[in-house]
Amino acid sequence: MDKQIWTCGQGEAIIFIHGLVGNHTVFKEQVAALSKCYYTVAYDMLGHGAEKGIAVNFEMANLVNELLAVYNRLQIQQANICSLSFGTYIANEFAYQYPEKVTSLCHIGASYDNPSFFHEELIKVWNKREIHYRDWLQYYACKMNPNNPVMRDPYAYKSRKIFQKYGGEIASSVVMQALHYMLFGRVRSRLSKIKRPFLWVMGEYDHIRKTCLYDLHDILPEVIYIELPGTPHVAHLYQTELFNQTYQRFLLQHK
């Protein structure tokens, strides 16, 4: 059966890629706003949506091919890609392999493989992977959503519960393969070779991922970096109007 793809609007294409354990609805507010002027496309990545709970092969090559199939099925020659969290890894690899198909990139809550506190915490999570999956998910959620005097996040408890709930519905092998790529996928070297307009959006409280971004402007000298105030990792959900306005300005500037 063909994978379901949700499209709306007309004009220049924007493809939305959700994050790990999520689905296409995480961008529903962006689709509602942007489909007035753009052709918006959303889909559920492998092992998510209708495939939730299925132990699919979640290798990056398959995720890139899945995105390529979306392009081919809709006969899209070139598109802007707006992605969240783990979805940014897919966008990076796709833009690296098929630069002619990418107009611009917008990353929300993105990270890469720099030596950092974020990387150290991921290693701790990886080294705990033999424990019971539910306990491991809880450990993962706590490491990725800290709340302490140094890294204050009033949304941390909510973020942990959401990740545990929906992570429990995804096949454990999918989450493990995603973590493996985050640790060993050589994302930084790919980023430095992507020559496309870049909007990089972080939440004010997404402290842990920001620890790896210290050389972002060295890798992407022309990147536009912004932090949305009062927001956690999924910043666009908590400052929807501000994000939409910022993204639309970016798209118009680089049209």
Residues in the chain: 255
Asked whether residue 255 carries a pLDDT value surpassing 80, the answer given is no
Q: How confident is the model at residue 1 (pLDDT cuts 50, 70, 90)?
A: very low
Give the pLDDT mean for 165-179: 97
- What are the tens digits of pLDDT across the range 71-108? 999 999 999 999 999 999 999 999 999 999 999 999 99
Record the tokens describing residue 70, joined without a space.
């979306």
The answer, as to whether pTM is greater than 0.95, is yes
What letter would DSSP give residue 190?
A: H
C-alpha 44/C-alpha 58 separation (Å) is: 13
C-alpha 227/C-alpha 113 separation (Å) is: 20
C-alpha 223/C-alpha 216 separation (Å) is: 8
DSSP strand pairing (39-43 vs 13-17): parallel
Contact 199, 250 (CB under 8 A): yes
Asked whether residue 211 carries a pLDDT value surpassing 50, the answer given is yes
Contact 209, 118 (CB under 8 A): yes
C-alpha 242/C-alpha 246 separation (Å) is: 6
- What are the tens digits of pLDDT across the range 63-72? 999 999 999 9
Record the tokens describing residue 232, joined without a space.
């956690």
C-alpha 129/C-alpha 125 separation (Å) is: 7
C-alpha 42/C-alpha 8 separation (Å) is: 9
Asked whether residue 140 carries a pLDDT value surpassing 80, the answer given is yes
Domain 5-253 bears CATH identifier 2.170.8.10: no
Q: Which of 85, 92, 140, 93 is CA-nearest to residue 110?
A: 85
Cα dihedral 29, 108, 35, 100 in deg (nearest 10): -160
Phi-psi region of 153 (alpha: psi -120 to 50; beta: other; left: phi over 0): beta
- What are the tens digits of pLDDT across the range 6-57? 999 999 999 999 999 999 999 999 999 999 999 999 999 999 999 999 999 9
Q: Which helix (H) or strand (E) holds 39?
A: strand 39-43
C-alpha 88/C-alpha 102 separation (Å) is: 13
- What are the tens digits of pLDDT across the range 215-233? 999 999 999 999 999 999 9
* Domain ranges within the chain, ordered by starting residue: 5-253
Q: 151 to each of 11, 65, 85, 148, how far by Cα in Å?
A: 42, 37, 19, 5
Contact 163, 22 (CB under 8 A): no
Give the pLDDT mean for 96-125: 98
Contacts 24+ apart (CB under 8 A), 139-142: 140/167, 140/175, 140/179, 141/167
